[in-house]
Structures are given as C-alpha cells and as structure tokens.
Structure 1
Amino acid sequence: MALKKYTLPKEERISLKRHLDKLFEKGQSFISYPLRVVYLCTTEEMPARASIMVSVSKKKFKRAVKRNHIKRLVREAYRVRKYELIDPLTEKNKYMLVAFLFLDKELPSSAGIEKALSKAIRLLLEKEHLKELATETFIE
C-alpha cells in the first residue's frame, strides 16, 4: 500500500487557462452552502486526478486578508479529505476539475467550511456515479 501524502502540490491546482475555460464552459454545478461547486469529470489525461481552484468574491470581501483567509480554510479542508475523491477517480481512471466558489457574506468558521466541503465531496461522488467505489471512511 502506498503512503498517502496529505499535501496540495501545484499539480493539484488548476493553473492553465484552457482548463479553467473548459470547466466554466462545460462544467456542472451545485451548492453546498456556503460553497458553490463547479465540476467537470473527464477521461483526458491531466497532471493530477483532481485539480481544484478556490475563489472568493472581491465584491463581498474588500480586504485581501479576509479573502486569503477564506481560501486558506477551503484549501485546508480539501487537503485533509482529498483522498475521498481521488481514490474513486483512480479506480475508474477519470480526472476531475473542481472550482469552489465562496458565496456567503460573513467570515466562516473552520468547522462550517469542513462540513460544507465534506458534503460537496459526497455530492460529487454521487453525481459522477463514483459512490459505490468510495471508501467507507466518510466523515459526516
């Protein structure tokens, strides 16, 4: 069994403009409040099984410090739970682009973000019919 690394390297972040354009053009979305999740599942080879991006509205949070704090919370919650999404994708030989867009006008708590992200990953697996392959170690 390979040792799992709970890191978030550059390969797991969406950085190419063509990937972003494809995600927002062809992707589907749902809301796991306070996050709106836009995703696109594909069989096209990519650097990582699941690549993510996090966005916070400048209109709702004027200060960069607050926007960066929220993005840090979302990335940390994803980093801890990423194998709940990556393992089923690996078994089905699929790749996924995911954007997490923060919707709320208030600063969130860490627990609230973790709960929303856990629900978002569960919904991603259900919507892409990967749930039967998911491990039974979901944190509800």
Structure 2
Amino acid sequence: MYTFKKEERLCNKRLLDKLFHGGSSFLCYPFRVSWISAPQPQTHPVQVVFAVAKKRYRRAVDRNLIKRRTREAYRLHKDALLYGPLLQNNKQILLSINYIGKEINDFAFMDKRMVKLMVQLCQQADVAAV
C-alpha cells in the first residue's frame, strides 16, 4: 500500500521528452508539476519523476535531501489522493514533480503542499476526487 516501486518511476527517455515538450503544467509552490496522459497502457496509474535543479542547489547532499522528502510525501498520499480517482476513471498519467523552492523546507510543509498538489492534479486531469 505505502510502497514506491521501480515500475512507478518514470525512466523512459522517450516518455520524458514527450512529457516535457507536450505536457500540461502548473505551479504549486514549492513544486512545479508537469503531466500528460499516458500514451500506452502501464502497470500503474501514475509514473513519476522527481527533480531538483542543480543550478539552485549545488551540493548533491541538499538535492538528495529534498528529493527524499518529496518522494516520502508522495508515497504517503498517492493511494488515497491520486491512485483511487485515476483507477475509478480508468486513466493513467505521466508526472514530473520539480522542486523550485528557494530554501530547503521541512517535511511537514512539503507534505502539506504535496496533498494540495495531488488534489489540484486530479482537478486538472478531470478526475473526481474521493
């Protein structure tokens, strides 16, 4: 239930290119979200990639800390807020979550923003929330 497996990660270069060049996006500070409907059937309703700009955070330790907190917030809420509505409407999406904040926030703030981000994503993808 609260897992984040390899199959849920977006690694395909062709799909990443399609996502960044033809996808919809919105801002939910400190995240910038890009998404697109999946072109072919997948094993999971969402494939996701997390990114933190090297230009803003030079030290890999800081980038990894931010990605770790973001992944954890995503993992905790994906079943209830994202997978449920998507499975009900038989939709699958590709998702990119970029951290654009100027400072490293604590987990509680990121967790709260991740919930808001998922609700907003469901609205944009025309999926009724649970």
**Class of the TM-score when normalised by the shorter of the 2 chains:** over 0.9
Alignment partners' CA distance in 2, 1:60 and 1:43:
32
CA deviation after TM superposition for structure 1 residue 44, in Å: 2.4
Secondary structure at the residue paired with 1:39?
A: strand
1:110 pairs with one of 107, 110, 130: 107
TM-score by length of 1: 0.88
**Quick check: 1:53–1:99 contact (8 Å CA) kept in 2?**
yes
Q: CA RMSD in A?
A: 1.1
**Quick check: 1:43–1:93 contact (8 Å CA) kept in 2?**
no
Alignment partners' CA distance in 1, 2:60 and 2:43:
29
TM-score by length of 2: 0.94
1:17 matched to which residue of 2? 13
1:68 matched to which residue of 2? 64
CA deviation after TM superposition for structure 1 residue 43, in Å: 6.0
The amino acid that maps onto 2:51 is S
| Identity score, percent | 39
Q: Does residue 98 of structure 1 match 2:95?
A: yes
Q: Does residue 46 of structure 1 match 2:42?
A: yes
The amino acid that maps onto 2:23 is G
The amino acid that maps onto 2:25 is S
Secondary structure at the residue paired with 2:118?
A: helix
Alignment partners' CA distance in 1, 2:22 and 2:62:
30
The amino acid that maps onto 2:57 is F
